[in-house]
A and B are shown apart, each in its own frame.
Chain A
Amino acid sequence: MCFWRLPKEEQVRYIRIKSVVIHAWHHLTHSVETWMDIFWFPMMQAFVFGGLALYFAKQGGESSAQVVVLGLLLWYGMEAGSYSIAVGALWEIWARNFSTLFVSPLTIGEFVVGHMIFGLFKQFTTVAILSLVAYMTFHFSIFSLGYSLPVHFVLLMVFGWAVGLIAFGLILRFGTKIQSMAWGLIYLIQPLIGVYYPVSILPPVIRNIANCLPATYVFSSAQNIIHTGMPRWDYLGIASVLDIVYFVFAYGFMKWAWEWARRAGTLARMEE
């Protein structure tokens, strides 16, 4: 449907979401810290893990090396989603702009959607740069994932959004004293989901927890491509269902925390 044919209310909603995206873009263009988070640290990781991969390759572990480099690229695709929502909200709180935004007609849903959209841009940019580094330095092509490449990234992105929403919800509920959750929560998950190794090497108890996380299936499917040349569509199917469950739960949790903060009066004092 054309934009101008949308009901007035939806057009306005679109304009407000667009404003959040523009706001995030303006912030990115001025914030050295954000550039460091998006590009510098991933690049450094790319060199460290790329070096490790080269070492593996020289030891005869060609496929292990590819698993490490692919894991790194996919990981940053997922992290961008989480980072965009949770750290995006924190930047507003630190600047005392959070309540100024929400005394305007902006809704929390529009704010989150705006940051999710901007997260896509960050994901694309980060992964594109890392892929270039991986290709030029370590001769690894991300396109070795074939036509299932976008599916893997989308599934990880959605899970990243869900983690970001939970981190944001926790900040709304407990305040900025737990702000490190904004960038730290996703790293609690990293060891479980087999980013750089197959989950089969994990102890059974941890493996059971890992099996409840959609990202585990996405990384396993990607690793399967390295080993067999084919994605695991059954795994991607399970990941899709789990993604929906996690996203719905995370959004519901964030909304509950938002309403809780409004009732408790802490939303207005978030910046103090």
Chain B
Amino acid sequence: MSNTVLEVTNLSKRYGPPAGGFVAVDNISFSMKEGEIVGLLGPNGAGKTTTIQMLLALTTPTIGTISYFGLDLHTHREEILTRINYVSAFSGMQSRVTVRENLEVFSGLYEVTDWKNKVRILAKTLGITQHLDNLYWHLSSGEKARVNLVKAFLNDPQLILMDEPTASLDPEIVSVVLDLVSDMRKRHNVAILYTSHNMGEVSRLCDRVIFLHHGTIIATDTPLGLSRRVGTAVLRLTFDGEQKPVFEYLKLRKHTYHSVSPHVVEIELDESVIPKVLFGLGKKQVWITDIEIDKPDLEDVFLAVAKGGAGALHTD
């Protein structure tokens, strides 16, 4: 049985005076198991950044508790932060010193033994070996992001908070990073809390997604489960022969459809009944020559919530 690495209970953050103050995070609770990759998603202003700042002890919660590995963050900050790490495309390192010197310092802060060897291996994996003796400020934003990732893996963390780690990286390096993250999970059972505006990355990596809106959790589900809540799939069929048997069958089964052209029809339906429809039309001797399925994905969830709020998601 996997252990809980992070437990957030009734966490809230209110900025400013209580009367008329701004509530950034409103009574959220969630937990993460070891080896789990969880996406923290939401439109701008949803409370993701404040939540991450509280999880890193940079911001104090108004109420609620955060515990890692069964230890309270408030009372065991140093012990916990030694066992986790953080990476963001938007944070930096000391720009006036070299990459190696920066990593030496963070190795000391995270109590990393044999840091030279570790830096060498991670730098090779992330393709920054040639930059180790360059000043940090001479690096491009993509190179800096990779150096930040080396720092994030230095202490063999049990949990990593990743705040848009691949922003500003080119696709080739993004793929390397995502593979590295998957590999770290596989080999070291590291848990990862991941935020990104790239829904493809989230779908590829995350076991579960927590969707925030106006500071509250409006849904927690797998990426697939979440995308199913936003609407139906669209099945686009191209067929030979007459329309009549096709439309008769769809009418009988009470499907919503419309004719795109004499031989093309679009049907709105639940993803799970697609095989049944195809089988049924086959039995009616309809000769299907092309099938296209347009399924809702996390991108649709994101856009739906940004436009329509929590009400845009169906509850199961």
Q: Which residues of A contact B (CB under 8 A)?
A: 12, 15-16, 18-20, 22-23, 26-27, 30-31, 91-92, 95-97, 99-107, 259, 262-265, 267-268, 271
Contact = CB atoms under 8 A, between A and B. Distances in A.
Contacts of B95: 95, 97
Task: Tell which of B60, B86, B98 has the most Cβ of chain A within 10 Å.
Answer: B60
A96 B53 CA distance: 15
A104 B96 contact: no
A144 B127 CA distance: 58
Contact of A268 (B53, B78, B98, B106): B53
A26 B97 contact: yes
A263 B53 CA distance: 11
A185 to B, nearest CB: 24
B109 A16 contact: yes
A71 B144 CA distance: 46
B15 A107 contact: no
Given A27-B96, A91-B94, A103-B57, 11 more contacts: A12-B111, A15-B108, A16-B109, A18-B108, A30-B98, A99-B58, A100-B86, A100-B151, A105-B110, A105-B111, A107-B78
A259 B91 CA distance: 21
A190 B135 CA distance: 37
B108 A22 contact: yes
A134 B109 CA distance: 41
B92 interface: yes
A107 B80 CA distance: 13
A107 B77 CA distance: 9
A22 B94 contact: no
Given A15-B108, A22-B104, A265-B50, A105 B82 contact: yes
Contacts of A102: 58
A245 B178 CA distance: 54
Interface in B60-113: 60, 77-79, 81-82, 86, 90-98, 101-102, 104-111
Nearest to B106: A104
A52 B93 CA distance: 44
B110 A95 contact: no
A270 to B, nearest CB: 10
Contacts of B50: 265
Given A103-B86, A263-B60, A265-B59, A19 B108 contact: yes
A101 B13 CA distance: 23
B119 to A, nearest CB: 14
A12 to B, nearest CB: 6
B56 interface: yes
Contacts of B97: 23, 26-27, 30
A129 B50 CA distance: 48
Contacts of B49: 268
Given A26-B105, A95-B92, A97-B94, A104 B110 contact: yes
Contact of B58 (A92, A103, A106): A103
Given A22-B105, A97-B93, A103 B56 contact: yes
Contacts of A264: 15
Contact of A262 (B24, B60, B86, B137): B60
A95 B94 CA distance: 5
Interface in B126-165: 135-137, 151
Contacts of A265: 13, 15, 24, 50, 53, 59
Contacts of B56: 103
Contacts of B151: 100
30 contacts: A12-B82, A12-B111, A19-B108, A22-B105, A22-B108, A23-B97, A26-B98, A26-B104, A26-B105, A27-B96, A31-B96, A95-B136, A96-B90, A96-B92, A97-B92, A97-B93, A99-B58, A100-B86, A100-B92, A101-B109, A103-B56, A103-B57, A105-B110, A262-B57, A263-B59, A265-B13, A265-B24, A267-B59, A268-B49, A268-B59
A23 B44 CA distance: 35
Nearest to B104: A22
A100 B149 CA distance: 12
B167 to A, nearest CB: 14
B101 A26 contact: yes
B96 A91 contact: yes
A19 B105 contact: yes
Contacts of B82: 12, 105
A259 B60 CA distance: 8
Nearest to A272: B90
A97 B78 CA distance: 18
Contact of B91 (A100, A105, A263): A100
A158 to B, nearest CB: 26
B78 A105 contact: yes
B113 to A, nearest CB: 10
A30 B104 contact: no
Contacts of B110: 104-105
Nearest to B24: A265
Contact of B109 (A104, A262, A267): A104
Contacts of B57: 103, 262
A9 to B, nearest CB: 8
Contacts of A263: 59-60
Nearest to B144: A96
